[in-house]
Amino acid sequence: MSFSNYKPSRLAALPSTLDPAEYDTSPETRRAQAERLAIRARLKREYLLQYNDPNRRGLIENPALLRWTYARTTNVYPNFRPTPKNSLMGAVFGIGPLIFLYCIIKTDRDRKEKLIREGKLDRTFQLSR
C-alpha cells in the first residue's frame, strides 16, 4: 500500500491518518499520547465547567493565555541571550538603517546646500518654508 503524495506545508500539517509513523508506534508512544490527551481533556473539562456555569459572572481566567502574554511582553529581556543571528538582526535593522540614512541624506543635503550657495538651484516656485 502506498501512501498519498500529500506533503505537509507551512500552514497545513500532515493529518495523522496519512502519516506512516502513526501505524507502527510503540506502546510507550501510545502511552505518552494518552497522557497528553488526558491533560488536554482535563483542561477542556475545567474550561467547559466554568463556561457553562450558570452562576458565573466574570471572565474565565485562562492561565495559559496569561503566561503567554507575560512571556511576550514583560519576560522578554531576562531570557535574551545574544546569538549571532540576534546580533545580525539588531545590526541590520537597528543600526544599519541609521547609518545608511545618514549617508544618503547627508550627501543629498550637502549637494543641495552647495547648489544653493552657488545660486544654481531653481527655487522660484518654492512655497514651503
Partner 1 sequence: MLKMIIPTMMLLPTTWFSKNNLIWINLTTHSLIISLIPLLFFNQINNNLTSHSTHLSSDPLTTPLLTLTAWLLPLMIMASQYHMYNESPLRKKLYLSMMIFLQISLIMTFMATELILFYILFETTLIPTLIIITRWGNQAERLNASTYFLFYTLAGSLPLLIMLMFTHNNLGSLNIPLLTLMTQNMTTTWSHNLIWLACMMAFMVKMPLYGLHLWLPKAHVEAPIAGSMVLAAVLLKLGGYGMMRLTSILNPLTEYMAYPFLMLSLWGMIMTSSTCLRQTDLKSLIAYSSVSHMALVIMASLIQTPWSFTGAIILMIAHGLTSSMLFCLANSNYERTHSRIMMLSRGLQTLLPLMAFWWFVANLTNLALPPTINLIGELLVVVTSFSWSYITIALTGLNMLITALYSIYMFITTQRGALTSHIISMKPSFTRENMLMFMHISPIILLSLNPSIIMGFTP
**DSSP string of 54-86, one letter each residue:** TT--SPPP-HHHHHHHHHHHTSTGGG----HHH
Instruction: Output the smallest distance, CB 61 to partner 1, in A.
Output: 9
Q: If phi over 0 gives left and psi between -120 and 50 gives alpha, with beta otherwise, what is residue 119?
A: left
Which DSSP state fits 123?
Answer: -
101-120: which residues touch partner 1 (CB under 8 A)? 101-102, 104-106, 108-109, 112
Q: Residue written as cell 501505524?
A: 23
How many residues bind partner 1 (CB under 8 A)? The answer is: 26
**Choices 7-15, 17-25, 35-43, 67-75; region in contact with partner 1 by CB under 8 A:** 67-75
Q: Is 98 in the site for partner 1 (CB under 8 A)?
A: yes
Q: Which residues bind partner 1 (CB under 8 A)?
A: 51, 56-60, 65, 69, 72-74, 93-94, 97-98, 101-102, 104-106, 108-109, 112, 126, 128-129
